[in-house]
Amino acid sequence: MTTIRAVEVHDVRFPTAAAGDGSDAINRGDYSATYVELLIDGPLVGAGFTFTNGRGNEITCAAVRALAPQVVGRSLEEIAAEPVAFWRSLTADPQLRWLGPEKGVIHMATGAVVNAVWDLRAKAAGLPLWQLLAELSTEELVANVDFHHITDALTPDAAAAILDKGRHGYAERLAQVRSEGFPSYTTSVGWLGYPDDKVRDLTRAAYAEGWRAMKMKVGGDLEDDVRRARIIRAEIGPDALLMMDANQVWDVDQAIAAMERLVEVDPYWIEEPTHADDVLGHARIQRAVAPVRVATGEVAANRVIFKQLLQADAIGVMQIDACRVGGVNEVLAELLLAAKFGVPVCPHAGGVGLCELVQHLAFFDYLRVGTSLDGRMVEYVDHLHEHFVDPVRTRGGRYLLPTEPGYSATMKASSVAEFSFPEGPVWR
Amino acid sequence: MTTIRAVEVHDVRFPTAAAGDGSDAINRGDYSATYVELLIDGPLVGAGFTFTNGRGNEITCAAVRALAPQVVGRSLEEIAAEPVAFWRSLTADPQLRWLGPEKGVIHMATGAVVNAVWDLRAKAAGLPLWQLLAELSTEELVANVDFHHITDALTPDAAAAILDKGRHGYAERLAQVRSEGFPSYTTSVGWLGYPDDKVRDLTRAAYAEGWRAMKMKVGGDLEDDVRRARIIRAEIGPDALLMMDANQVWDVDQAIAAMERLVEVDPYWIEEPTHADDVLGHARIQRAVAPVRVATGEVAANRVIFKQLLQADAIGVMQIDACRVGGVNEVLAELLLAAKFGVPVCPHAGGVGLCELVQHLAFFDYLRVGTSLDGRMVEYVDHLHEHFVDPVRTRGGRYLLPTEPGYSATMKASSVAEFSFPEGPVWR
């Protein structure tokens, strides 16, 4: 039995705000993580985290501490045998649930803990997480999904059918991604905090490196957005993809009006055009801007929001996040929902370590759930990978298949020590 | 100038779980509050809180501490002059927003702080909060609402029209509620933790006290729900109202099926039939169970969720909560949205001090916004009022108009000391 003996929490913050990296219409932060370590008897450590934006990271740390008693003393074997019971001990605790339910701080903390459990499971199995998941039987995968509140869109039987179908052609798809990797796009060229010259230079460099899909931030002054979009389009030519991200800054009608202007540069998608909770608003915008796709999900609180976005035909691209929701188990539900509705998944990445996590989810999705690369891309941001023991590897704008056991979530001990808040040397 | 010098936070918890009070399909907690005091130069203290359910209250306390720097050093006059700028300093902070946005722990903490500011404003004006609000000009009230992300349903002009209309007949309505109070209903009869005999005895006693509207919890075993519902209906006769509350436990199709059974006891509304985030699910349930009304709102995260519930015709009763959302300013938006869509507001109460808060909102709604008592009732639960300096007063199943300055949010210092967690005598 592999029993979890202790849960350790670290408040890790990187001073990114000063550089304008990661600046968009509503966020300007010091990228940070509520970093969780699960200790067992033995050398393996389960690592997980939720990404936050600087101040307030101590709140998600407090939430992890509140959840820890549900984890300490449990064994991996017990969790694997009754995964939904374990998941609900975190998400449906009769006292803590009131703080969400299944949203915000308490749910992000749940994600950090659940991800650490999966990292430990994968390390104990000696497999990268994508492979652990992809080699589970259909029954085991279905048993890891909490279908509560989504059965009107996806039943366990429907999920099983998707996963069974995903076994066909598995070996071919695996051989393909092993040699070619997974498509990605870059968000490093067009943060709102960057001046025009920097946008132009970064775009030119990214194109030269092989990127053919790039995302810019919009939602500041509309004329500024148009000017910057033209700069990027001029650099990348008519065939490369240009995505736009408004980070929820617009009202519904404002989003529709802004896109009437921005359509001149042929955007591929408009991401987070309005408030993340506004399912009906996204649906109206999607009807208005088609064939431009509406994309959202990095701030979608849980599977119930994703279910509705799909039911309402509100999105053409579904962006899962690895640690905004309740970890791997809830992401499984989301991938299955996307497959059921035929919407491609393009995971959200960037931040701290999000690229490291979502690559596993994207490879698993391709291997067993979505089974197509059509319209699939993983976001890539070239930030902070140096702090991870098993960082992402890319080649020519594609993610390479992870090979190390685990969920690639482990931070270097030296980075945790240096950037711990407030006691680390960087912050003292 | 009335400058806020300090923000004090108290983790106050009452050991209610053992008695089964407050038990429902998903919550069994020690009723608790993140209690906030705003200190100024002078004897007045602004009091506010958000209600929580025991464990985890330390997390909302941590969130209040994270918000405190946005409040300390501000003056009431400055906040009153630019109320939305102040509100956004809490809800749209470029680092803290990521933790919501506008939902869960960080938004509940915002509610506690914003409510404390309004308590202080009302005390400084020497008026009960309902009166401070009701006597504000239309322009001032509109200036207190953040219309961001709701303009597709409610513009400032439309809000002003509602509030201007609300001036007609104001004196008559005020005279009426001053003599007659505000209708309410009781939830004290049918908690899931109570045995049948206790339900029968409590129902009989409540009917004898004058209550003609009672709410029971459902969502346990369906046969148990039916049996308990029959007991209550037999006691109260065919004319009194029987409301049901499932506390989100059902899936959408399960809710529809359960209501096909429960309709035999003629329920007036079904509250929280499914997940609080499921706007489309509520809409489907409302279509299926009509003319039974769907009611929800105590866990609705923010005005964007309420906007959608109204746009989708998903509810027949809108239940605002005083401190789940971002305090009085956001409740103003919700009351105006309800009036725009013609849906009656029946505030959620109970918990710790929620009755004390929402009575002010209900009276204000009647006086200036909704302007009708048709279908309006405030929830009443006879718990924990003894810990408040200005507790609710009721007569014959009606709330009486508060007369003391402030938002009735001030707890007795002795109660705060006794029930502070973990150092208070009750918890040591």
Hey, what domains does chain A have and what are their CATH numbers? Answer: 4-148+415-419 (3.30.390.10), 170-411 (3.20.20.120)
CA distance B358 to B328: 10
Subunit contact B95:A253, Cβ cutoff 8 A:
no
> What residues form DSSP beta bridges with A114?
none
Subunit contact B101:A311, Cβ cutoff 8 A:
no
Question: Is B383 assigned a catalytic role?
Answer: no
Subunit contact B101:A248, Cβ cutoff 8 A:
yes
Residues of B in contact with A60 (CB under 8 A): 99
DSSP A367: I
A339 min Cα distance to partner chain B (Å): 20
What's the rounded mean pLDDT across residues A347-372?
Answer: 97
Looking at residue B23, its pLDDT comes to 63
Please provide the average confidence, as pLDDT, over all residues in chain B. Answer: 95
Residues of A in contact with B53 (CB under 8 A): 94-99
Question: pLDDT band for position B20 (50/70/90)?
Answer: low
Looking at residue A189, its pLDDT comes to 78
Residues of A in contact with B99 (CB under 8 A): 52-53, 56, 59-60, 104-105, 108
Looking at residue B321, its pLDDT comes to 98
**Is the four-CA dihedral A176, A177, A179, A185 of positive or negative sign?**
positive
Helix (H) or strand (E) holding A281: helix A279-289
Annotated catalytic residue: which of B107, B215, B217, B383? B217
Please provide the average confidence, as pLDDT, over all residues in chain A. Answer: 95
Question: pLDDT band for position A382 (50/70/90)?
Answer: confident
A183 min Cα distance to partner chain B (Å): 27
A373 min Cα distance to partner chain B (Å): 30
Contacts 24+ apart (CB under 8 A), B331-335: B331/B361, B332/B133, B332/B141, B332/B144, B332/B145, B333/B145, B333/B146, B333/B147, B333/B150, B333/B154, B333/B303, B334/B303, B334/B306, B335/B361, B335/B364, B335/B365, B335/B369, B335/B370
Residues of A in contact with B62 (CB under 8 A): 58-59, 62
Closest Cβ opposite residue B151 in set A55, A96, A253? A253
Question: pLDDT band for position B19 (50/70/90)?
Answer: low
Question: pLDDT band for position B328 (50/70/90)?
Answer: very high
Annotated catalytic residue: which of B10, B215, B340, B348? B348
What's the rounded mean pLDDT across residues A123-146?
Answer: 98
Task: Provide the chain A residues 172-201 that lie in CB contact (below 8 A) with chain B.
Answer: none
Residue keyed to tokens 């103003």: B332
Q: Is the bond leading into A425 cis (omega within 30 degrees of zero)? A: no
A95 min Cα distance to partner chain B (Å): 5
Residues of A in contact with B278 (CB under 8 A): 149, 304, 307-308
Condensed to tens digits (0 to 9), the pLDDT of residues B234-246 reads 999 999 999 999 9
Condensed to tens digits (0 to 9), the pLDDT of residues A21-41 reads 666 666 678 999 999 999 999
Residues of A in contact with B106 (CB under 8 A): 56, 59, 104-105
Subunit contact B62:A62, Cβ cutoff 8 A:
yes
CA distance B265 to B242: 8
3-state secondary structure chain B: CCEEEEEEEEEEECCCHHHCCCCCCCCCCCCEEEEEEEEECCCCEEEEEEEECCCCHHHHHHHHHHHHHHCCCCEHHHHHHCHHHHHHHHHCCCCHHHHCCCCHHHHHHHHHHHHHHHHHHHHHHCCEHHHHHHCCCHHHHHHCCCCCCCCCCCCHHHHHHHHHHCCCCHHHHHHHHHHHCEEEEEEEEECCCCCHHHHHHHHHHHHHHCCCEEEEECCCCHHHHHHHHHHHHHHHCCCCEEEEECCCCCCHHHHHHHHHHHHHHCCCEEECCCCCCCHHHHHHHHHHHCCCEEEECCCCCCHHHHHHHHHCCCCCEECCCCCCCCHHHHHHHHHHHHHHHCCCECCCCCCCCHHHHHHHHHHHHHHHHCCCCCCCCEEECCCCHHHECCCCCECCCEECCCCCCECCCCECHHHHHHHECCCCCCCC
Does the structure show a pLDDT above 90 at A138?
yes
Condensed to tens digits (0 to 9), the pLDDT of residues B133-157 reads 999 999 999 999 999 999 999 999 9
Condensed to tens digits (0 to 9), the pLDDT of residues B290-326 reads 999 999 999 999 999 999 999 999 999 999 999 999 9
* C-alpha distances out from residue A377 to A36, A313, A346, A365, B107, Å: 28, 20, 5, 12, 33
- The residue type of B297 is G
CA distance A202 to A199: 5
Decide if A294 touches B, using CB distance below 8 A: no
Q: Please state which of the ranges A328-337, B4-13, B272-281, B390-399 shows the lowest mean pLDDT.
A: B390-399
Annotated catalytic residue: which of A282, A348, A360, A383? A348
Residues of A in contact with B29 (CB under 8 A): 94-95, 98
B276 min Cα distance to partner chain A (Å): 8
* C-alpha distances out from residue B191 to A195, B31, B320, Å: 60, 14, 21
Task: Provide the chain A residues 219-258 that lie in CB contact (below 8 A) with chain B.
Answer: 248, 251-254
Closest Cβ opposite residue A106 in set B66, B96, B105? B105
> What residues form DSSP beta bridges with A203?
none
DSSP A366: I
Decide if A281 touches B, using CB distance below 8 A: yes
Q: Please state which of the ranges A294-298, A364-368, B18-22 shows the lowest mean pLDDT.
A: B18-22
CA distance A54 to A37: 20
Decide if A26 touches B, using CB distance below 8 A: yes
Residues of A in contact with B101 (CB under 8 A): 26, 248, 275-276, 299
Looking at residue B301, its pLDDT comes to 98
Decide if A108 touches B, using CB distance below 8 A: yes
Closest Cβ opposite residue A274 in set B149, B280, B311? B149
What's the rounded mean pLDDT across residues A257-283?
Answer: 98
Looking at residue B27, its pLDDT comes to 67
Probe site for chain B from A34, A102, A275 (most B CB atoms < 10 A): A275
CA distance A151 to B360: 40
What's the count of helices (H) and strands (E) in chain A, helices before strands? 16, 11
How many CB atoms are located within 10 Å of the residue B391 CB?
A: 16
CA distance A395 to A312: 37
Looking at residue B17, its pLDDT comes to 77
A359 min Cα distance to partner chain B (Å): 22
CA distance A110 to B413: 35
- The residue type of B64 is V
Are residues A112 and A46 in contact, defined by beta-carbon separation less than 8 angstroms? no
* Torsion (CA) B89, B95, B96, B101 in degrees, nearest 10: 90
How many CB atoms are located within 10 Å of the residue B42 CB?
A: 9
Which structure tokens are listed for A75? Answer: 């064994």
Nearest by Cα to A365 from A338, A341, A330:
A338
* C-alpha distances out from residue B293 to B283, B287, B296, B302, B313, Å: 11, 9, 10, 21, 11
Q: Please state which of the ranges A200-204, B111-115, B142-146 shows the lowest mean pLDDT.
A: A200-204
DSSP A96: G
Angle of CA points B75, B302, B277, to nearest 5°: 160
Task: Provide the chain A residues 48-107 that lie in CB contact (below 8 A) with chain B.
Answer: 52-56, 58-60, 62-63, 66, 92-107
Question: Is A360 assigned a catalytic role?
Answer: no
Subunit contact A149:B105, Cβ cutoff 8 A:
no
